[in-house]
Structures are given as structure tokens and as C-alpha cells.
Amino acid sequence: MSAETRLETREECTQHNTHYPRSHLNHRHHVWPLGMGGPATEDNIVVICPTGHANVHELLKAYIEFHGQVPYAIRRQYPRGERRLAQLGYERFIRRAM
């Protein structure tokens, strides 16, 4: 796997200001997931910590299940940045466009 397509990175997480414990290896997350037809382009990638990455995918599943209308009781369990990424991923998936 080339450096450009590597999914783990030492770059800082762009979604959270603090990490306890500190995340030493973060993930390159595809906002519109590749498995859902998303492109493998830099403008579709953000760096996020492993926990945040898992949370975004979990919330994206909820967006799909609820057709974009995720109840507040579910959304409020996630930090704002994670909610924003999941919603953006859902919107790109629905539009099939960046």
C-alpha cells in the first residue's frame, strides 16, 4: 500500500481538541465511505482518532436507517464534529456527489 493510500497516520485528529489517552495513530477516514461508492480522493478524507472514526461510522448507519432523520436522543450522544462528519457522509451518499 502506498503512502498516499495508507489509512493510518501520525497526523493530528481534526475533530477533537483533546484526547485522553493521547491517540498516537489516527485514521484517514473517507467521509463518503468507499464501500458506499465514495471516491478515493483527498477532499473526501479527514484525519480522525480511532474512537471518533468508529463513532462516525456508527452514526452514519443511524442516518441511513432513519433516512437522514436521526432522533436527537441518538445524535446528542456524539460530539459535534462526529455528527457533522456522519451527516456529510450521508448527504454525499444520497446525492452521489461530493
Spans of the chain, pLDDT less than 50: 1-4
Instruction: Kindly state the greatest CA–CA separation across the chain.
Output: 41
In Å, how far are 3, 5, 48, 64, 76 from 82, measured between CA atoms?
Answer: 25, 22, 9, 15, 10
Domain boundaries, the chain: 8-95
Cell (9 digits) for 17: 481538541
Q: What is the pLDDT of residue 2?
A: 41
pLDDT of 46-57, one tens digit each?
999 999 999 999
Grid coordinates representing 72 are 436527537
The amino acid present at 7, given as its one-letter code, is L
Place of cell 456527489: 97
